[in-house]
Homo-oligomer: A and B are copies of this chain.
Amino acid sequence: MPTLTEKLALQGGAPAMTITPAERWQPPVEREIELVSRLIRERYLSAAGRGFAREFEDEFGAWLGVKHCASQNTGTSTLQAAYFAVGVGPGDEVLHPCYTWICSIAPAVHLGARPVFCEIDADTLVIDPADMERRITPRTRCISVVHLFGNPVDMDAIMDVARRHRIPVVEDCSHAHGATYDGRKVGTIGDVGCFSMQGTNPGGKAVSGGEGGMIVTNEDHLWERIMAYGHLNRKGLVDEYVSPEYRALGETGLGLKFRAHPLALAVAKVSFETLEWRNQRIAENRQRLAAAPERVTAITLVTSYAKAHMAGFYGGLKGIYQPERLGGLPVERFLAAVRAEGAPMNGRAYDLHHLLPLFARGFDLYGGGRGPLTGDYRGYRPGDLPVSEAVHPNIVSFPALIDPAPGYLEQYGAALEKVAAHYRELL
């Protein structure tokens, strides 16, 4: 290949990549406008439990194969409702992977719970069930798992721990719309499933409407709490309650409002219509791209558990850079060289959350030494989660492409190969 003999772009050579833009797929914008305009004309701008919003919820729930499904205003509020539903409150502990997005953690903190951070597995980048089990205490009220970047958690192991210790499981599926474990869609295996619908396609959540979320459960008594907590004045709300103390609450429930915006749901519905097709295309292109890092040998692609099937792919495709294979070349230098060739590749994506100042040092949320992150809260230090801290600096992201320009993936592979061939010049 001629590119292999060319000087590195970082050192003045011609970049290996010439094809742009990478992604040819475009979201069906006019279809979004058509649906949104229809709802505006119908003055359907604040509604829940009826009409378009309810139809979309029912469709999404049926696609997952789950009994109850409600739309909410953010993925974050679905997590808050999920933690509330399973009984998270003041004095509790919730187990979280240390590597995720803060919105998966903070809602439990604001219910009064302390986050207990767990190691991630160095190959899958999702929560390590064995490490997680070791952190269970009498105060552990919930296991929170995240199917990070669309890669399902080892749900057999998680559910085994959960059942033995009788601790409910919340699945954060914000990155993983359509991913499966043992043939079941993620979000339907634990007690409550939460899906963000933030952003826009491509690049946003796999089903995206700007801001929004979906919350699902098969359990009537959890659904009752989800409904009472954030769905006041939802049509038919009282019919969703199963116990007398909730029925007494009536239409105003517990008084919070997590209702989704109908126009967000309209955009998300249009996104949902192409989800399976996009998931399929990204999976195929992932396979094609997989050839490149293996050829380069400097990057190991993230692996999945045996029963897991990736989808959603929020945040791009993930690999782990192996500096020892390129003579110890630091990851930043490697990434700079790759990018100079015109090949998009990003680093870590998320911080390790046990080392965020908020969770490492703690914070007096309400003043006067109140809240879960103050008092005898011990916080975290570098070294507390050695496996995660070792792998974290070397996590890299590839583009998750739906309809790449012809030849793009081949050029991408060639760019990586070129950098690998010249790494000594970068040391």
Contacts and interface: CB of A to CB of B under 8 A. Distances in A.
Given A112-B90, A257-B103, A211 B73 contact: yes
Given A102-B252, A109-B255, A46 B90 contact: no
B103 A232 contact: yes
A250 B357 contact: yes
A427 interface: no
Given A73-B74, A211-B46, A263-B264, A358 B89 contact: no
A308 to B, nearest CB: 28
Given A200-B46, A356-B252, A365 B89 contact: yes
A330 interface: no
Nearest to A108: B255
Contacts of A363: 245, 249, 254
B211 A259 contact: yes
A338 B422 CA distance: 88
Contacts of A75: 257
A371 B365 CA distance: 17
B263 A210 contact: yes
A368 interface: yes
A111 B366 contact: yes
Contacts of A255: 76, 102-103, 105-107, 109-110, 358
Interface stretch (A30-38, A128-136, A404-412): A30-38
Contacts of A200: 43, 45-46
Given A89-B368, A90-B112, A46 B254 contact: no
Given A74-B73, A109-B255, A254-B358, A45 B267 contact: yes
Interface string A68-112: 000001111100000010011111000000000011011101111
Interface in A357-377: 357-358, 361, 363, 365-368, 370-371
A199 interface: yes
Nearest to A371: B89
A370 B92 CA distance: 11
A371 B90 contact: yes
A351 to B, nearest CB: 8
Contact of A357 (B32, B41, B90, B249): B249
Contact of A89 (B204, B209, B367): B367
Contacts of A77: 257
B110 A256 contact: yes
Contacts of A278: none
Contacts of A262: 210
A115 to B, nearest CB: 10
A105 B232 CA distance: 13
Counting chain B CB atoms within 10 Å of each CB, which of A208, A209, A256, A260 scores highest?
Answer: A256
17 contacts: A29-B41, A74-B259, A87-B368, A89-B365, A102-B232, A102-B252, A106-B255, A106-B256, A109-B255, A110-B256, A112-B370, A210-B263, A211-B259, A245-B363, A249-B358, A254-B365, A261-B264
Closest 5 CB pairs of A and B: A106-B255, A89-B366, A45-B210, A102-B255, A76-B257
